[in-house]
Homo-oligomer: A and B are copies of this chain.
Amino acid sequence: MNNIASEKYTPLTVDTVIDYTRTRPELRAMFREGEVLEAVEVGDGNLNLVFKVWVQADPKRTVVLKQALPYLRLVGDSWPLPTDRARIEAAVLAIEYRLVPQHTPKVYFYDPDMYLTAMQNLNNHIIMRKGLIQGIKYPHFAEHIGLFMACTLGYTSDLVLDYKTKKEEVARFINPELCKITEDLVFTEPYRKTERNPYHKEIEPQVLALQADDALRSEVAEMKEKFMTQAQALIHGDLHTGSLMVNQTETYAIDPEFAFYGPMSFDIGAVIANLFLNYAAHEVRTIDPDTRADFRKYLTDTVIQLWHVFEREFQPIWAQVDHINMPKGYQERYMLRLLQDGAGMAACKMMRRVIGLAGVEDIRGIENVAERSTAASLALNIAYELMMQRHELRKIEEMVEIVNDSRPTYPWRE
């Protein structure tokens, strides 16, 4: 939880990063003496420097170096951030790699003086959000992410870990500053007047109506309470489509620096929310009705399928728990609570992306204001219904029905 940089800490630059790689024994097999290396800084996040380094003559030999900055880029030096998150990210990647190596970038080393992790360069993959915006389908994604979530969530929970390891892991992954960002940006600020809510003015009536809705804010407060108190599993904590690297055959989850022991439903809700945000964006991004309907069916089928995969991959966990003290009825209610809370978390994540500080390109990237309002208002309406109907949800298919039944408040075309 140290917030002060170590004495040996220096932020790297494209000029110094190559020399740095030369000092690391772990990279000697990849980068041989005398070879010319090239580097570029590609960080598009707000918290870190991200370098890619490769052999000029053989670019397949390559590594990513991710170095934590001691402040949040988005708002400059004014929001200091503990470099401890770099330790957390490296430790979580190691756990995820043990559980699901096929969906986790391999870590070569972590440098605690530089708050730097060297890891596999996923250079055959793109950020999923960018692909979805272009209407690209990833046919194996549901299978992959369902498995990833079942393994990383189930196997770090009390269902599998012994009583002592679990509690020591809770202490090891206390992550106050990054949790605070989520508490503020996801659960607090979207529901109050603040200058840090940069939604476009065209949707203001709808935003003000949500902010005035006591019943909605009660539900949000309950989700926030779960986020702050439910130490259920080691969650990724930021599992949106910008943290997913994909291609037609593979899926990797990156950037678990927000990880801590929290509610499983927060990760589940994050994935679902970002698929539904994309669904809302295609209201205006895809003009041809058949193409739009087809891609949306892909998105909603993906949500249905990822949930069923998640349930299926949880079966080996349920098979190893004690059926006397965790009878079938408990197991079913456990999964149902994940579904209902997942809907609630998804709702919060969707609303914050429309109203709050950190938007998503799917919607904020729509240039035409009327179109953007249409997509934004549809996202808000989906989120609202997910939240208010979540206690009645019994099946994932009902969640998709809610989405299909939703309409934008500001339609821009007939």
Least CB distance from A320 to B in Å reads 15
Interface string of A308-338 (1 = CB under 8 A from B): 0000000000000000111111100110000
Are B325's CB and A215's CB within 8 A?
no
Roughly how many angstroms separate A222 CA and B327 CA in the complex, as a whole number?
Answer: 11
State which of B164, B167, B179, B191 has its C-beta within 8 Å of the C-beta of A325. Answer: B191
> Which chain B residues border A241 with CB–CB below 8 Å?
none
State which of B167, B174, B228 has its C-beta within 8 Å of the C-beta of A158. Answer: B228
> Which chain B residues border A187 with CB–CB below 8 Å?
325
Are B168's CB and A170's CB within 8 A?
no
Least CB distance from A403 to B in Å reads 26
Are B217's CB and A330's CB within 8 A?
yes
Given contacts A167-B176, A170-B170, A325-B192, whether A333 and B222 have CB atoms under 8 Å apart is: yes
Q: For chain A residues 224-277, which have a beta carbon within 8 Å of chain B?
A: 224-225, 228-232
Roughly how many angstroms separate A180 CA and B325 CA in the complex, as a whole number?
Answer: 15
Interface string of A164-177 (1 = CB under 8 A from B): 10111011001111
Roughly how many angstroms separate A171 CA and B191 CA in the complex, as a whole number?
Answer: 30
Roughly how many angstroms separate A325 CA and B184 CA in the complex, as a whole number?
Answer: 11
> Which chain B residues border A221 with CB–CB below 8 Å?
325-327, 330
- Give the nearest-CB partner of A193 in chain B: B324
Are A327's CB and B218's CB within 8 A?
yes
Q: Is the interface of A mostly helix, strand, loop or mixed?
A: helix
Are B232's CB and A229's CB within 8 A?
yes
Roughly how many angstroms separate A214 CA and B40 CA in the complex, as a whole number?
Answer: 60
Roughly how many angstroms separate A188 CA and B327 CA in the complex, as a whole number?
Answer: 12
Least CB distance from A53 to B in Å reads 36
- Give the nearest-CB partner of A188 in chain B: B325
Q: For chain A residues 178-225, which have a beta carbon within 8 Å of chain B?
A: 179-180, 183, 187-188, 191-192, 214-215, 217-218, 220-222, 224-225
Are B325's CB and A224's CB within 8 A?
yes
Roughly how many angstroms separate A189 CA and B222 CA in the complex, as a whole number?
Answer: 32
> Which chain B residues border A333 with CB–CB below 8 Å?
218, 222
Roughly how many angstroms separate A342 CA and B13 CA in the complex, as a whole number?
Answer: 56
Are A214's CB and B171's CB within 8 A?
no
State which of B1, B179, B230, B327 has its C-beta within 8 Å of the C-beta of A163. Answer: B179
Least CB distance from A121 to B in Å reads 34
Are A329's CB and B164's CB within 8 A?
no
Contacts A/B (CB < 8 Å), 12 sampled: A158-B225, A163-B228, A164-B177, A164-B180, A167-B174, A167-B176, A171-B171, A215-B329, A217-B325, A218-B327, A218-B333, A230-B230
Known: A171-B171, A191-B325. 10 other contacts (CB 8 A): A163-B228, A164-B177, A167-B174, A170-B174, A214-B328, A214-B329, A217-B325, A221-B330, A224-B325, A230-B231
| 7 shortest interchain CB distances as A-B pairs | A218-B329, A221-B330, A218-B330, A171-B171, A164-B176, A167-B176, A214-B327
